[in-house]
A and B are shown apart, each in its own frame.
Chain A
Amino acid sequence: MTTLNSKVPKGDNLSEKWSKYKEHINLVNPANKRNIDIIVVGTGLAGGSAAATLAELGYNVKAFCYQDSPRRAHSIAAQGGINAAKNYQGDGDSNYRLFYDTVKGGDYRSREANVHRLAEVSGNIIDQCVAQGVPFARDYGGLLDNRSFGGVLVSRTFYAKGQTGQQLLLGAYSAMNRQIARGKITMHNRHEMLDVVKVGGKARGIIARNLITGEIERHSAHAVVIASGGYGNVYFLSTNAMGSNATAAWKIHKKGAYFANPCYTQIHPTCIPRSGDYQSKLTLMSESLRNDGRIWVPKNIEDVKAIREGKLKPTQIAEENRDYYLERRYPAFGNLVPRDVASRAAKERCDAGYGVNATGEAVYLDFASAIQRYGKEQAKIHNINNPSESKILELGEAIVEAKYGNLFQMYEKIVAEDPYKTPMMIYPATHYTMGGVWVDYNLMTTVEGLYCIGEANFSDHGANRLGASALMQGLADGYFVLPYTIGDYLADDIRTGTISIDSKEFDDAEKEVKERLDFFINNEGTHSVDYYHKKLGKIMWEKCGMARNKKGLEEAIQEIQEVREDFWKNVKVPGSLNEFNQELEKAGRVADFLELGELFAKDALNREESCGGHFREEHVTEDGEAKRDDKNFAYVAAWEYTGKPSEAILHKEQLEFKDIELKTRSYK
């Protein structure tokens, strides 16, 4: 049995661990790097930046993505920004403060040493991206602009309009392109990894399917890096791209990589509400909107009813009849409380009957006062005395448009309402998964030579992720962490030579993959893959969603098992194996979600406390806030696969907080 060793460097001060570590690791001679192959699965911020950097160092990189181009990885959809402790604003930011905010924001369930390292390299990320030509927002003096995000009191978020993820991904993509042109990266677009191959206990390759021809391919390497993103689509409805899947992460779990904290799923507070049963996915509106938007529901239940019946417009409700519940409950942070707190507060109001749309699952995000404030400010700047109300609106709307224009346009296209004139409606939705494959300080999983980076791993965000820190982690892992740590491992591999794909291990893995695909095509079933995915999603949302309890979780485990059993009997996949077959792709992914969902519920059942995105109804304070149990649960739950998710074995990595005192998170 594998033991958990976090490999965090011992002894030194937290702030010196990473620099000392880098000084003492083994290096690979440039001439030897040419003889070493590395596979990178996934080409978002983490995988793309890792592939580019490893190739630049001289390794031969084989990169894989399921999309038609690396530029379409779902990192592209991240909107708001990326954090870095640059203290350009002079408002008191520092590496320590970014570290502190992240550990606190994660509800003290992340690994201190990893988070500190993340804060240390954050500044480099901005320098790197600017050098690559990422057009971050600038002020009139030509310097970089910043904004603030939920959960923190400094302005440390760098942004490129509402398309920061897009610009950072295109930066990493351009770095990849440079290496593709040099022949150092071999890019495999429209390929899906369907298994990892272990030789002598080490990860030595993958089995992949060419999604256009259906051909099953073998690829070998000295190390394998998984950067395949999160598993939020286990809910069916989420803000993830439709193709985002857990297959690579789940397949390595089944081959020995422990899966950590699957119950830590972020429910993002500012999404466009669901409008009907046909809905295929949910759309996120950047959290940066909460900088200027005020969140409220009507104070009086009669007003709620009138709004739902279309007899009253939100703009007709007087100021004193509005309940700005975040400002009321959390005066210090107000609308900028962290995501888990904001999400639960919205659910609390909607559960109490104050939801403002037809389904009763929506609250208002109102920009009227920001438009007024900006309008008056602009009038002063432009020397307009006694501006008319319409002039104020015009000037104010222009500022709001410059800041959030694309988000407002997106909202208007989906909802068919003008958010400049009437408040937006928002509701929480599944967004980001903080849990993932367990990795040590080197980002290596419990399988030797198998690494996991970005959202696919578990280490940096704890039980809740602060805004603008996902992009930071993806790029930190890919550009600045993995390239060092993987070298230390590969230094022992310089005499190995090319790994053969003609071995029993590759034969066996390929056979297993083919049998599974054959099953899907030949099964004479009656229900589509989506039918099962939606069923699973419903169970997950109702029983493993924003609030969980023992009874519900036990039911969920049972129900997921039943759905899974039915799936393997009755799923229907049209088409054939050796062609472009999107239903076949989905079938494999949903089969994996049907297992992961069960482990998710089991993990949530085990964690008898509330923390971050995991809210157990049995564990609340008197005023309804989440109640953490540090005495018994300050550990990472890392699960070992044994053949059935409900029988997974729990391993605990005890978390140590030497630099930060564990405190109850309060935003009041």
Chain B
Amino acid sequence: MNLTLKIWRQKGPQDKGQMVDYKVTDISEHMSFLEMMDVLNEQLVNSGDEPVAFDHDCREGICGMCSMYINGEAHGPDRGITTCQLHMRSFKDGDTIYIEPFRAAAFPVVKDLVVDRSSFDRIQHAGGYISVNTSGNTQDANSIPISKVDADEAMDAATCIGCGACVATCKNSSAMLFVGAKVSQYALLPQGQVEAADRVMNMVAQMDLEGFGNCTNTGACEVECPKGISLENIARMNREYMKATTKG
């Protein structure tokens, strides 16, 4: 199929940036969206132009690196997938496709479609861990029985890949789904309960400091999340936060 691409080009964080038109031809419906971008970039390099910078790595939907806004949706039109899992069979011959970076104040553009998501890392530094030494002297794993239901729910929360689609799609650029998932994982497990109050307080404080907006329960994040992280995690984080602030 033949397509018209309208792609956001921006040289660096200070550059103003603009949409630029490109044409690609002979695109197979079996290609992934990123392979289609590879075809475009090969074309650009061969004609002496600069290829479009975009983040991608594992190309199997798990590393969370790919981060495009396609036709106004994070990771494009299909549900429950990342951009690398989007295939060209989701488009039609002759389509015009708009491709932009994830936009949020806390995700500044590095170049073209690449954004800086290190704010997520800093939220994790603020408390996204259990304080246990890596000594090899921890107690036997089976001495901490965990109900299957809790373990499975913790796993569902832990499935978050930190791609930032929730932020990109939220009208408030809120990171509550991401932070909620992290807080939930530990809230559901017996390990790390000792520091649970500090954890949620510190992570939420860092989230605010990074410039993410608040949650107004629109639910767009849940719809766009490639890993199906549920809004329930935001509710759980709010409960944990409430518990922490009313403690003592």
Contact = CB atoms under 8 A, between A and B. Distances in A.
A166 interface: yes
Contacts of A124: 136, 138
Majority SS of interface residues in chain B?
A: loop
Given A77-B63, A142-B147, A144-B142, A528 B28 contact: no
Interface in A267-291: 275-276, 278-281, 283-284
Interface of B: 11-12, 28, 30-32, 34-35, 38-39, 42, 44-46, 48-51, 53, 55-65, 78, 80-81, 85, 87, 89, 110-111, 114, 116-118, 120-121, 124-134, 136, 138-142, 144-148, 151-152, 154-155, 158-159, 161-162, 185-186, 189, 191-192
A62 to B, nearest CB: 16
A27 to B, nearest CB: 14
B130 A241 contact: no
Sorted nearest first, the 9 A-B pairs with minimum C-beta distance are A142-B145, A174-B129, A130-B141, A131-B138, A135-B155, A135-B154, A138-B151, A241-B57, A124-B136
A216 interface: no
A574 B48 contact: yes
A100 interface: no
A461 B128 CA distance: 33
A133 B131 contact: no
Contacts of B138: 124, 127-128, 130-131
A130 B147 CA distance: 14
A273 B42 CA distance: 24
B129 A136 contact: no
A570 interface: no
Given A133-B192, A528-B46, A76 B63 contact: yes
B128 A126 contact: no
Nearest to A180: B125
Contacts of A651: none
Contacts of B189: 133, 135
Given A130-B141, A132-B129, A174-B129, A241 B12 contact: no
Among A56, A71, A72, A239, max chain B CB count under 10 A is at: A72
B39 A278 contact: yes
Contacts of A121: 136
27 contacts: A69-B117, A69-B162, A71-B162, A76-B58, A77-B63, A88-B142, A127-B138, A128-B134, A131-B132, A133-B186, A137-B151, A140-B148, A142-B151, A161-B159, A166-B161, A167-B155, A167-B158, A174-B128, A177-B128, A177-B129, A242-B56, A243-B57, A278-B35, A284-B60, A413-B78, A528-B42, A582-B53
A135 B185 contact: yes
A175 B131 CA distance: 8
Given A69-B120, A132-B130, A133-B189, A416 B62 contact: no
B146 A138 contact: yes
Given A144-B141, A276-B30, A416-B89, A72 B57 contact: yes
A132 B44 CA distance: 46
Interface in A209-251: 212, 239, 241-243
Nearest to B61: A410
A624 interface: no
Contacts of A401: none
A211 B185 CA distance: 33
A580 B151 contact: no
Interface string A462-483: 0000000000000000011000
B140 A127 contact: yes
A143 interface: yes
Contacts of B39: 278
B114 A580 contact: yes
B191 A76 contact: no
A241 B191 contact: no
A257 B133 CA distance: 32
Contact of B130 (A52, A133, A139): A133
A77 B59 CA distance: 10
B51 A574 contact: yes
A528 B46 CA distance: 7
Nearest to A283: B60
Given A69-B162, A241-B57, A283-B60, 13 more contacts: A76-B62, A77-B60, A128-B138, A132-B191, A135-B189, A163-B62, A166-B161, A181-B125, A239-B60, A280-B32, A410-B85, A479-B134, A575-B50
A189 B125 CA distance: 14
Contacts of A166: 62, 159, 161
Contact of A574 (B50, B63, B117, B154): B50
B134 A56 contact: yes
Contacts of B154: 133, 135
Contacts of A280: 32, 34-35, 38, 59
A279 B30 CA distance: 9
A528 B51 CA distance: 11
Nearest to B189: A133
B63 A583 contact: no
Contacts of B50: 574-575
A67 interface: yes
B64 to A, nearest CB: 6
Contacts of B31: 276, 278
A160 interface: yes
A242 B57 contact: yes
